[in-house]
Structure 1
Amino acid sequence: MLLNHNTYNTPKLKHAESYKNALLNDVLPFWEHNSPDSQYGGYYTCLDQNGKVYDTDKFVWLQGRQVWLFSMLYNQVEPRDSWLQMAKSGAGFLKKYGMDAEGNFYFSLTQQGKPLVQAYSIFSDCFAAMAFAQYAKASGDGEFRTLAKNTYLNILRRKDNPKGMYEKNTGERPLKNFALPMILSNLVLELEDILEPEEVQQTIDFSVNEVMEVFLHKDSGLIYENLLADGSEHDSFDGRLINPGHGIEAMWFMIDIGVRQNDPDLIQRATDTIIRILEYGWDNEFGGILYFMDAKGHPPQQLEHDQKLWWVHLEALVALSKAYEHHPTKKIKDWYEKVHTYSWSHFPDPENGEWFGYLNRQGKPSLTLKGGKWKGCFHVPRALYQCWKTFERIESKT
């Protein structure tokens, strides 16, 4: 049964209970009912508004994300056999079909598992490593534990040239991208019980330095998506690109690292950066967080720059809830309520469940799909889980 979304903001429900209900009674049932491929294994991610499959291609990073999600829930929430079986289907499919002979993961496969798009970057590998690590913990299968470690080590070998022979850049303007240190800062914590402590700390130190000292612009307080190899800025479309959602998501990774390392200064800097990015990226005319922006206010090259995307707002809710847990100030509370009100009044589908992913600037769905090539079973349930657990801790203190 789908949760009535009109109850999300009722004062009768505390935030923790509201997020828990949304996760367990709305979003997860949508994916459990509609996404499994009982014939070939793995998951369909191209689901329309009602959950009907409209394309059977399988995108490897979304397969990995869904394995991770159901394994994590099994490990952290409740050892439900249905969750373990869901994870097993995807983990087995990824292990059998997801990688080439060198252990590099493809971008997409046919329904049956035949490779469609080559392993042109390491981001499929990152989510495969996360998936295998969580599934190994859930299942007790040591083979997946080994796969997780080997995949992670392969990522590190490729991190200085993540696209390899598929890199489009000629080398004339060697820009490095924010996404890699950002994802490594979260990935290494996912694999902490598999890797050597020295390896974990080395990757944490690298990621925190890159995120907070290199890509975080000291004067503007914004995260740049691309920098020159020496860390300097370049006055070009790519060099001026700001992705508010990426910066905000990275900051809750930084807060988690700050908690792990008992580093209040890192938590404070991450909190300040969350607020700064929101102040910069909020659409004061129509509400919501803009997708792409130009650091100098020039027209961005992305035609979808003024769309409002599901994952951006969800990551902001996670980041703000974590920031509020450590710094319960009025400013953070006000921003949380602002983002919460916009998100819950625009993205959830009260009739069919789950969330719309793509809104136009005015806040109307530009696509009614629930899953596709980029949206799968990940950002919505992960954020609901994170907010549920964070507000449980907050509310236990009041």
Structure 2
Amino acid sequence: MNLDVSKLKNELKQEYISILDFWKNHTADEENGGFYGELCNDGTPNSEAIKGVVLNTRILWTFASAYNFLKNEQYLKVADLAYNYIIKYFWDREFDGLFWSVDVKGNVHNDRKQIYAQGFGIYGFSEYFKATGNKESLDYAIKLFNCIEKYSFDHQHGGYIEALSRDWMPLQDMRLSEKDANEPKSMNTHLHIIEPYTNLFRVWPDDGLKMKMENLVKVFHDRIINPENAHFELFFDKDWTVKSEMVSYGHDIEGAWLLCEAADFINNPELLKQVESMSLRMTDVTLKEGLAQDNSLYYEKDPSTDHLDRDRHWWVQAEAMVGFMNAFQLSGKEKYQTAMLKMWDYIKTHIIDRENGEWHLRTNDQGLPITSDPKAGFWKCPYHNSRALMELYNRL
């Protein structure tokens, strides 16, 4: 495919700004502070929705990174709003760490310490420090890093435990969400520890942090990536016994580029070579097994039943664009760039909501949006799509 770089970069930037404008203009909760916990597909707020820390930390990262990218003061104001709300309502002043959720008035709704959420706190705080130079935000990021390492790191088997109680004690139910398996370790949490650790290292190049990043890359290489089929295994027992057969195409392609990003910082040439090789293999498998005829990516597959979830989730398509572009940069092979461009065409045609703004959470096999899904919510956030557009813009 012929590539008009300036035209594509303009499209990406305009859509990036459009996403930021949607969140800036529609999500602030003027009455209670912070942001609404949920917006319907048409943008109508659910003023009673519980407010999740993942959404709020992702908003913080999105608008801090937007300010770092475009230097627009309006974006910094949104980041300020997110930061101040998180510190006031989500931060646990007694035991440190971030609560899972609060109600509309800011009262604690669920006080568990999900390690995935602590990771997103680091991601947001480190980016906000980069935007503002606010030392307090770096201090919070480092506190979270220390909490994860003190309470979640498994000294016997390596890796990290999924979740703990408010005071960092073991939990019976460690699931990240209702669809997840109740197992002590998951690919998803490890992916979203290495991602914020990488971002923290950009602003705090600590040797201990670097060592933990290297250990995490090795955990992915040795434990999480299946060497036979190049898919991520999703759930594990404490000793890394695999507890699920499910394949997640979105996580495979997201991880393929995030692991390369982390390995770049570690300064271990042999490890970087291993990661880049595995990244290309994972991308090839994603293209072979997960790509639909319309050039979008299916959601997931259960090999034990051969059931394929054919819905096209917004975040999977966004991460696929970056994953394909990363593979093109590593290999120079046109097929990856072509896959990225075709994915962008699918997103423009089916995923972007031209009527109400932002992106549909998912479309069905016919390319039609599922309008009962929220436009913003506990898991529907601006970070996947805004990051993908910014990444592509900077990589072109």
The normalised TM-score by structure 1 is 0.85
Say whether the 8 Å CA contact 1:244–1:278 is kept in structure 2.
Answer: no
Q: 1:335 to 1:292 in 2, by over 3 A?
A: same
1:292 aligns with 2:294: no
1:354 aligns with 2:370: no
State the Cα distance separating 1:166 from its structure 2 match.
3.2
State the Cα distance separating 1:343 from its structure 2 match.
2.5
Say whether the 8 Å CA contact 1:68–1:87 is kept in structure 2.
Answer: yes
State the Cα distance separating 1:339 from its structure 2 match.
2.5
Distance 2:113 2:147 in 1: 14
Distance 2:3 2:375 in 1: 25
2:342 corresponds in structure 1 to 338
1:37 corresponds in structure 2 to 29
Higher alpha-carbon deviation: 331-340 or 270-279: 331-340
- Matching residue's letter, 1:205: E
Distance 2:142 2:26 in 1: 31
Distance 2:249 2:203 in 1: 32
1:268 corresponds in structure 2 to 277
Say whether the 8 Å CA contact 1:27–1:353 is kept in structure 2.
Answer: yes
1:282 aligns with 2:291: yes
Distance 1:291 1:379 in 2: 15
State the Cα distance separating 1:58 from its structure 2 match.
1.5
What are the superposed Cα offsets for residues 98-142 of structure 1, whole Å, 9 maximum, x if unpaired?
033211322221222111122251222211222222222322222
Q: 1:293 to 1:55 in 2, by over 3 A?
A: farther
- Matching residue's letter, 1:376: C
State the Cα distance separating 1:212 from its structure 2 match.
2.0
User: What SS class does the counterpart of residue 70 from structure 2 fall into?
Assistant: coil
Distance 1:11 1:50 in 2: 33
Which of 159, 176, 188 is the matching residue for 2:185? 176
2:125 corresponds in structure 1 to 132
1:162 corresponds in structure 2 to 162
Distance 1:153 1:194 in 2: 16
1:319 corresponds in structure 2 to 323
Distance 1:110 1:166 in 2: 22
2:247 corresponds in structure 1 to 242
Q: 1:213 to 1:50 in 2, by over 3 A?
A: same
1:309 corresponds in structure 2 to 313
1:254 aligns with 2:247: no
Alignment of 1:1-398 (within 5 A): 14-24=7-17, 26-56=18-48, 57-75=50-68, 77-100=69-92, 101-159=94-152, 160-164=160-164, 165-168=170-173, 176-193=185-202, 195=204, 197-234=206-243, 239-260=244-265, 261=267, 263-284=272-293, 288-299=296-307, 305-367=309-371, 369-391=374-396
State the Cα distance separating 1:310 from its structure 2 match.
0.3
Say whether the 8 Å CA contact 2:28–2:34 is kept in structure 1.
Answer: yes
Q: 1:349 to 1:182 in 2, by over 3 A?
A: same
Kindly tell me the number of residue pairs found equivalent between the two proteins: 370
Say whether the 8 Å CA contact 1:36–1:43 is kept in structure 2.
Answer: yes
Distance 2:208 2:172 in 1: 27
1:5 corresponds in structure 2 to none
Say whether the 8 Å CA contact 1:42–1:91 is kept in structure 2.
Answer: no
User: What SS class does the counterpart of residue 86 from structure 2 fall into?
Assistant: helix
Distance 1:140 1:242 in 2: 41
2:178 corresponds in structure 1 to none
RMSD between superposed Cα atoms in Å? 2.5
Percent of aligned positions that are identical: 21
User: What SS class does the counterpart of residue 91 from structure 2 fall into?
Assistant: coil
Say whether the 8 Å CA contact 2:328–2:334 is kept in structure 1.
Answer: no
Say whether the 8 Å CA contact 1:45–1:375 is kept in structure 2.
Answer: no
Q: 1:12 to 1:72 in 2, by over 3 A?
A: closer
1:4 corresponds in structure 2 to none
Unaligned runs of 5+ in 2: 153-159, 165-169, 176-181
- Matching residue's letter, 1:292: E
Q: 1:356 to 1:216 in 2, by over 3 A?
A: same
User: What SS class does the counterpart of residue 46 from structure 1 fall into?
Assistant: coil
Q: 1:298 to 1:169 in 2, by over 3 A?
A: farther
Say whether the 8 Å CA contact 1:177–1:225 is kept in structure 2.
Answer: yes
Q: 1:334 to 1:44 in 2, by over 3 A?
A: same
Say whether the 8 Å CA contact 1:132–1:144 is kept in structure 2.
Answer: yes
State the Cα distance separating 1:202 from its structure 2 match.
1.3
State the Cα distance separating 1:357 from its structure 2 match.
0.7
Q: 1:351 to 1:188 in 2, by over 3 A?
A: same
State the Cα distance separating 1:253 from its structure 2 match.
0.8
What are the superposed Cα offsets for residues 253-285 of structure 1, whole Å, 9 maximum, x if unpaired?
12213443463442232122112123222234x
- Matching residue's letter, 1:147: Y
Distance 1:273 1:190 in 2: 23
State the Cα distance separating 1:21 from its structure 2 match.
1.3
Say whether the 8 Å CA contact 2:360–2:370 is kept in structure 1.
Answer: no
User: What SS class does the counterpart of residue 157 from structure 1 fall into?
Assistant: helix
State the Cα distance separating 1:190 from its structure 2 match.
1.1
Distance 2:133 2:174 in 1: 42
State the Cα distance separating 1:200 from its structure 2 match.
2.4
